[in-house]
Amino acid sequence: MSTQFLLIDGYNVLFAVGLARKQYGPGQFEACRRRLLQGLADRIGAAQRRRTTIVFDAQEAPDGAPSEEVFAEMRVVFSVGTDADSVIEQMLLAHSSPRQVLVVSSDHRLQRAAARRQARSIDSDRFWARSQREPGHGGAEPTREESLKAGAVDVDPVEIERMVKELGAGKMSEDTEVAHGGAATTSGSREPDSSHYEREMMERGEEALREWDDGVSDGA
């Protein structure tokens, strides 16, 4: 399989996936931008990150930011002295293997520029929906439960709350069964794998809810 290089229109993706806002308080735009970068890093996997460039307009860059930086092995570029679209077009022209480039943007100007260089393009919302972490080395694709447990996927807070409630209800049912003469583990016995897993999932869900609430209160 040929190597794929990702060339991402940062602000286009930011708006397409709903991470942007109409107005921002101090530091809020930078927090949204960092959330996008982390979301990309979580989705595209370690090997692909080293072949990924994300371009942002410099006028929205944080104060004192360099023209380039590295985030989770991804190259992040701020378009100093010009706009992000022009920088992406120049990168396409300069790339030695444009047919191996995938431009991520819903901007028709960039999609036409990609076509002229025989590169591929994809709308930002489609890329975000389809992207996922690379499977483990030689292993099967992780289940959603495994990914949630590892914190490898984003979860809607409503789904997290539902999972926590369901797991809590399951534990109450087990406690009721024990109280009515059901089997119970002694203090010296090992916790059943299912109970251990449920406890970890509940803790993970509660932690995610706290992080979500903190993000909302911070306006990020």
> Could you report the per-residue pLDDT of 33-87, keeping only the tens digit for each?
899 999 999 988 888 999 999 999 876 555 666 689 999 999 999 988 889 999 9
Query: What is the C-alpha to C-alpha distance for residues 51 and 8, in angstroms, rounded to an integer?
Result: 11
Kindly compute the dihedral angle of the four CA atoms of residues 107, 110, 114, 117, in this order, to the nearest 10 degrees: 160
- List the chain domain ranges: 5-130, 144-218
For residue 14, count other CB atoms closer than 10 A to its CB: 23
Higher pLDDT, 47 or 147: 47
Look up residue 121 and give its DSSP letter: E
Q: Which CATH number does the domain 5-130 belong to among 3.30.450, 3.40.1000, 1.10.150, 3.40.50? A: 3.40.50
Query: Would the pTM of this model clear 0.75, i.e. be above it?
Result: no
SS3 of residue 75 by DSSP: strand
